[in-house]
Amino acid sequence: MRDVPLAGGPVLFRGALDLEQFPGGGLLPRRLPAWTRQQYPDAFMDFVAAMPSGVRLAFRTAARTLELDLLTTIRHFDGSAAPAPAGMLELVVDGRLVAQADAPAGRVLRLAHARAAAREVPGEPGTVRFPGLAEGMKEIELWLPQQTPCELLALRADAQVSPPEPSGRPRWVHHGSSISHCTQADGPTGTWPAVAAALGRLDPVNLGMAGNGMLDPYVARTIRELRADLISLKLGVNPVLKAAFKRRTFVPAVHGFLDTVRDGHPDTPLLVVSPVFCPRLESVAPGAAVAAGFGAEYTKAGDGMPDEEPGDPGEAGLAPLTLAMVREALESIVLSRRSGGDPHLHYLDGRELLGPRDAADMPDGIHPNAAGYRRMGERFAERVLGGGGVFA
């Protein structure tokens, strides 16, 4: 087996915007640039950015066997029976999924809740091996688990490795919440952005950030600076779930986010997607989502904001947001900007991707299961990337 350098060598990290280097030589792929870290609100955002949803190692080789040494970081919440699963790695050869392997369980972060200070339990690296590959030169993409930060320590192959051929595929940059991050998918190529990208022959960059689709300015600036042929933004569910905005603040925040993206991409096709159907949130009274304990995976029980009265009609802009209000606001924003001179901006109601008829595939009432994510990807490819679609 030959050692293959992970840094400064033939391996291309697709979907990663930063590679954090450790003294021992390990590399941690991150999905946001290094400069953004000083602006994160808490350690949870730092952890989420290190979850490599959509990140894959790309190279070209005639190797029959590949090995990757890595140290994963998994979370274990106090009171739960077991740590979160480490997920799996998937090997795509010449555009076809050929092998899967469970990610090794490494270090463990013990937490009272997602945004609490963590107590680290040290762990050991593991090795993932892919033997029995077909003969001949192959284009390889080794996808990392979407829910598990992975410090990569060594890559080995039994033949020479060279840089990948340019894919020639349009680059699609997508930002959203946990429903775009897709930790519940059955593997890294099963996230809905990965499914849609494969069907539409796109090169995806997934900036879906679990619990953090909050219109953060550093995310908008990141997208502004990226090379992108297509951009989509799935907005709104986290502001409702966490009662983080009122309509008065949500509307200008969306405009500001779009303004920043448009500074770098004035004519790039840009799609705004509203929230998918969320059974646990659709009928919740305004302002009650957090008080009802929804989103408990991100919020310590009892820390929810109190329910609020919407006020008199003159104060409607200060009423707590609902999913219906968010959908109406996003559609109105897109229509006004299109009429103001942005013909390449488009809107999609998220319920076209996952609607009331799909409630059985949303076991917690908010997040799709693996089948739901695949359905979202297929519908996005059909409605957005197919003939007559926004990005066709």
Residues in the chain: 392
- Name the band, by pLDDT with cuts 50, 70 and 90, for residue 116: confident
Please state, in angstroms and as integers, the Cα–Cα distance from residue 5 to each residue in 8, 56, 152, 280, following that order. Answer: 7, 15, 11, 47
Question: Do the beta carbons of residue 178 and residue 211 sit within 8 Å?
Answer: yes
What is the pLDDT, as a whole number, of residue 179? 97
What is the pLDDT, as a whole number, of residue 290? 52
Give CA–CA dist 164/177, Å, rounded.
30
Give CA–CA dist 223/205, Å, rounded.
10
Write the DSSP assignment of 45-102 as a string of letters.
HHHHHHS-TT-EEEEEE--S-EEEEEEEEEEEETT-SSPPP--EEEEEETTEEEEEEE
- Name the band, by pLDDT with cuts 50, 70 and 90, for residue 310: very low
Write the DSSP assignment of 141-173 as a string of letters.
EEEPPTTS-EEEEEEEESS-EEPPPP--PPEEE
Highest mean pLDDT among 82-91, 262-271, 316-325: 262-271
What is the pLDDT, as a whole number, of residue 88? 97
What is the pLDDT, as a whole number, of residue 293? 53
> How deeply is 239 buried, as exposed, middle or buried, from its count of CB atoms within 10 A (0-12, 13-18, 19+)?
buried
Judged by DSSP in three states, 391 sits in coil
What is the pLDDT, as a whole number, of residue 200? 96
Q: Is the pLDDT of residue 299 over 90?
A: no
| Average pLDDT estimate for 132-153 | 97
| Average pLDDT estimate for 145-160 | 97
Q: Is the pLDDT of residue 285 over 60?
A: no
Q: Is the pLDDT of residue 16 over 70?
A: yes
Q: Is the pLDDT of residue 111 over 90?
A: no
What is the pLDDT, as a whole number, of residue 236? 95
| Average pLDDT estimate for 314-339 | 88
Q: Which domains does the chain have, with CATH numbers?
A: 2-162 (2.60.120.260), 171-385 (3.40.50.1110)
Q: Is the pLDDT of residue 210 over 50?
A: yes
Question: 317 or 225: whose pLDDT is higher?
Answer: 225
Percent of all residues in the chain with a pLDDT value above 90, rounded to a whole number: 78
Round the average pLDDT of the chain to a whole number and report it.
90
Give CA–CA dist 279/238, Å, rounded.
15
Q: Is the pLDDT of residue 81 over 90?
A: no
| Average pLDDT estimate for 97-122 | 88
| Window from 137-151, 203-217, 315-329 with minimum mean pLDDT | 315-329
The secondary structure of 117-146, three-state, reads CCEEECCCCEEEEECCCCCCCEEEEEECCC
| Average pLDDT estimate for 265-283 | 94
Judged by DSSP in three states, 316 sits in helix
What is the pLDDT, as a whole number, of residue 75? 87
What is the pLDDT, as a whole number, of residue 132? 97
What is the pLDDT, as a whole number, of residue 12? 98
What is the pLDDT, as a whole number, of residue 296? 42
Q: Is the pLDDT of residue 303 over 60?
A: no
Judged by DSSP in three states, 203 sits in strand
Q: Is the pLDDT of residue 9 over 90?
A: yes
What is the pLDDT, as a whole number, of residue 315? 58
What is the pLDDT, as a whole number, of residue 113? 76
| Average pLDDT estimate for 75-101 | 91
What is the pLDDT, as a whole number, of residue 287? 55
Question: 387 or 245: whose pLDDT is higher?
Answer: 245
Q: What is the pLDDT of residues 246-271, one digit of tens each?
A: 999 999 999 999 999 999 999 999 99
Residue owning tokens 């200008």: 252
